[in-house]
A and B are shown apart, each in its own frame.
Chain A
């Protein structure tokens, strides 16, 4: 199925955005996020961007104070996901102009819209930034 969830977490470990593509109960999500944050945030720059956790593989990338963590199946192409994170960040950059944690917090709905245009049902649906942003811009006009 590919992508299981996408999390954006700040360096204090607070969740800023969470999108799951499989159903987990709130307790499960809380536990999972806690474990992942503990594991990933403790890692340093010299370590690789992949962490194995339960039956997921976490592909993560850090941008300033914000971590992007993507949970994927074990057989997913890790580097493709790693660059997909960057594509997401570049897309948000194009919209917000140098996106930061606060942008995502205060415009949570837009972050969700963008993600929705990029990933559906755990699969990548669109990789053209222009196409991703069209509906978001449509929303601003209304």
Chain B
């Protein structure tokens, strides 16, 4: 019908359709564009009908992918046409062609508003729809009250109100202030009483957007959602028009269950029971039926119900029902169900205890890795990656390796990266890790990024036992006929450093190793040749007694490359040649590379698909770390090589360029300082607080590499690290992010103090994320799990967690994905080893991005000294001899603490108990005193008995005297401060809890 009025348009469309090729199409379109442009030029003469026709042509041309850079004004002007057909075209075409920032839109605001507040409900609908699709901030500011009025108006018909709901949703997203939470929550709840399913469907979408930002405000909507769901699930009062293949609006059911997933729990027992009954019904009552549409619709509901059950952390029985269902799904024929089964099983990994049950399906999941459908293969890969742990790493990684040879090219990079990460994270032994990486390079060299081979080199360098094994292994690979260039690189590096360890084995003389390597030289590119040259130089150095023939051979090569056009190669050739003449100096400069500082795997950092902005952001972070620090740290070793350069690949690539010119003396560490390992006498300089960050980041390199060889080829910042005190508790207190616009929920400091006493709880929360923590402590080991929970429907991206451990803790944080999927929770295990007593606090530098909000927080982790205590009862006959034998400083220290919150003695005893101190009743004759004992564990002290006596003054309960004795002066010192200026620090660790936690114990 409508086409009758637009013959020109249908002719044009037919013409386009008849075009034989793209060129013809373009000609026809150019002609039409010229025609339309001409018509628009003398706009006065155009009737509304003609305008409408040309505007449709524009839309059609635009849809075909041709730029239409004129006529926008005409489209917008149709909005103010008095008649419905023209107005409709104006609205629809405008919302297709223009974006919210287009200037012309602004011109239309008044017309749009008049339509919205006018009496014509079809006009209202058109206007609301356009604003709902492309309305920007200005629309939000000028129209929100009108739209809200329509949505709530009882005189308005559903067809207008449903559009008003989604229009408001758009305006709310553009400017959240348009919805006043206080007033709106009740109205939202009221809206959910709506009987009309159209209005209810769009209101539910509005609710989802609102609760995802602030569930607290919308508690009153929760029972209404359950009621709606119940109404649908029981098919009560659902008009025929809203049932789809017999199922009451599956879309509204799904949306309602989605809204429910934003409420953390359901406390009201009645609501909870009702909901679980409905869910149970869905879980049990969904059968496979012949009709594909009905089947899909009922399974759409079922999968959403599964997600809701997982979210609610339902009873064990219901959970296992879910896993059983998913287990069934991943084995069915129907590919959609198989895909969704795998996808939801991956989500299920977040649920406590589910992992073990999921592992039973490992064989089936591995089968899916070979599915003909890449979508399914990807899901299987993700699931395998997620479910991998130490128990099944070997199986899974080997499966991945096997699959690598046949995998699609599009998946190989991801696959090899994941295999490399899993091998690193869960390697039962390091030689297996080396095997895996070498296999990866062998099978998929093209897809192996440099990070992967850098990482294996780091491991080999840092583990002496591994070196001969790795050297022998790479030699085997090199002997193969065709070798990937990456393999040549890694082999050259490892053989250069460690082939001398094999010298006694047959076929491994320096000459033979050189021969194998040199054979590859003609096949490699200019980036690899420098590595080969370094390897030659090192082989030559290790050849004892010198082999004249080998020497002249290698010298000849250096000679040859002295005139190489590639500057890097040339420089190395010249330098190595010159060095070789120097004899002894060669030994120093080419000495074995020092151990790399412990650092987080750069692989893990880029585990997830990283977006460009992530890279940029981490660059900022890296720069921050490079800021020079004037902090002083005393470590076990004088830092021979201040290699704290945090650029993941930095040291390695740099290390291969021994530049002799800058032989700076990096051993200038004050020997007096270094002797005083953790000594107590040194008073460290006061740092200006502006340098806090630098101080914090200073000790990132956990320990300086041993062996003070002159290995300082690169111009590293000669950072003498900061003493333990540089990073003490008090220094960290003010670090909480200042610039964040996102406000944390609850008090971060209080949460930290609470966690110092408890082993699980919330560490941090803001509107987008909740970070929970759960810890287990055994002797000097700690195993923490960070639970990163995304509270939104949108993913959190650029997630980064960086551990800033103090010098006394060795910490290893497992993979933190770059992205946390919507409403998902990620668990990140964190291993802690306590090396020696210190009350410094570890800091987690955590950042993420949500929308345009970049959030960065520095959170103290409750890996505090008292976590490494184990209460132990000490009988009187042992206590007193011990107490007496530890006489006076530095083994026994005393401190008077003032300003403590007065508390009865039993309460204080409880508090001490929660600090893992064992109260020994009756030992002290004075009933106002408390005596306690405990064992402190660290790698350096092992189990160390610690005795504590607290004397209180019944006349003044705000002060107490604390005496602490242990066999280790550092421990005693770290536990008890001795001078008043230390007071503050002391309080931050222990006594803040006395005074600040009202209900401790």
Contact = CB atoms under 8 A, between A and B. Distances in A.
Interface string B759-799: 00000000000000000000000000000000001110000
B300 A83 contact: yes
A98 interface: no
B336 A131 contact: no
Contacts of B378: 52
B166 A123 contact: yes
A128 B376 CA distance: 33
Contacts of A112: 92, 96
A73 to B, nearest CB: 8
Contacts of B83: 142
A87 B205 contact: no
Given A23-B100, A108-B60, A121-B170, A142 B162 contact: no
Contacts of A128: 197-198, 239, 241-242
A47 interface: yes
B376 A79 contact: no
Q: Which of A29, A46, A128 has the most CB of B within 10 A?
A: A128
Interface string B1-24: 111000000100100010000000
B375 A51 contact: yes
Interface string B340-383: 10000000000000000000000000000000110110100000
A75 B821 contact: yes
Contacts of A4: none
B162 A126 contact: yes
Interface in A44-64: 46-52
Given A47-B335, A80-B254, A128-B198, A17 B375 contact: no
Contacts of B502: none
A73 B205 CA distance: 14
Contact of A79 (B62, B242, B297, B375): B297
A25 B162 CA distance: 29
Contacts of A73: 793-794, 822
Given A50-B339, A120-B202, A124-B205, A15 B65 contact: yes
B241 A125 contact: no
B303 interface: yes
Interface string B845-865: 000000000000000000000
A135 B340 CA distance: 36
Interface residues of B, number: 76
B60 A120 contact: no
Contacts of B88: 113, 139
A113 B83 CA distance: 16
Interface in A84-142: 84, 86-87, 105-110, 112-113, 116, 120-121, 123-131, 134-135, 138-140, 142
B587 to A, nearest CB: 54
Contacts of B129: 116, 120
A30 B67 CA distance: 11
Contact of A109 (B89, B198, B376, B822): B89
Contacts of A19: 96
Interface in B31-65: 56, 59-60, 62-65
Contact of A74 (B62, B96, B822): B822
Contacts of A48: 335-336, 338-339, 373, 375-376
B610 interface: no
B250 A140 contact: no
B521 to A, nearest CB: 41
A26 B297 CA distance: 34
A124 B166 CA distance: 9
Contacts of B838: none
A48 B185 CA distance: 41
A22 to B, nearest CB: 9
A121 B166 contact: yes
B163 interface: yes
A98 B716 CA distance: 74
B821 A79 contact: no
Interface in B88-102: 88-89, 92, 96, 99-100
A134 to B, nearest CB: 8
A26 B201 contact: no
Nearest to B382: A52
A122 to B, nearest CB: 9
B159 interface: yes
A82 interface: yes
A47 B372 contact: yes
B339 A79 contact: no
A21 B293 contact: no
Contacts of B99: 23
Interface residues of A, number: 60
A125 B299 contact: no
A124 to B, nearest CB: 5
A142 B2 CA distance: 9
A30 B375 CA distance: 23
A124 B251 contact: yes
A75 B10 CA distance: 40
Contacts of B198: 125-128, 131
A23 B239 CA distance: 36
B546 to A, nearest CB: 59
Given A30-B65, A50-B336, A79 B300 contact: yes
A75 B122 CA distance: 34
Contacts of B251: 80, 84, 124, 127
A127 B249 CA distance: 8
Nearest to B17: A105
Given A79-B296, A83-B300, A131 B241 contact: yes
Contact of B3 (A33, A46, A49, A107): A107
Interface string B299-331: 110011000000000000000000000000000
Nearest to B96: A19
B837 interface: no
B244 A21 contact: no
A107 B2 contact: yes
B145 interface: no
B723 interface: no
Contacts of A47: 335, 372-373, 375-376
Nearest to B202: A125
Contacts of B252: 127
B262 to A, nearest CB: 12
A123 B254 contact: no
B166 A17 contact: no
A101 B294 CA distance: 25
Given A26-B65, A29-B65, A30-B65, A110 B303 contact: no
A126 B201 CA distance: 7
B522 to A, nearest CB: 40
Contacts of A116: 92, 129
Q: Which of B197, B254, B376 has the most CB of A within 10 A?
A: B254
B214 interface: no
Contact of B244 (A52, A77, A127): A127
B92 A109 contact: yes
Nearest to B242: A128
Contacts of B821: 74-75
A17 B56 CA distance: 13
Nearest to B55: A109
Contacts of A105: 13, 17
B409 interface: no
A48 to B, nearest CB: 4
B56 to A, nearest CB: 6
B880 interface: no
Given A116-B129, A127-B244, A130-B241, A79 B336 contact: yes
B133 A21 contact: yes
18 contacts: A1-B173, A17-B63, A23-B99, A23-B134, A48-B339, A75-B823, A79-B296, A87-B244, A106-B3, A108-B63, A110-B2, A113-B88, A120-B202, A128-B197, A131-B159, A131-B198, A135-B122, A135-B125
Shortest 3 CB-CB contacts between residues of A and residues of B? A79-B300, A48-B335, A128-B241
Given A33-B65, A46-B372, A121-B169, 8 more contacts: A21-B133, A79-B296, A83-B250, A83-B300, A120-B132, A125-B198, A128-B239, A142-B84
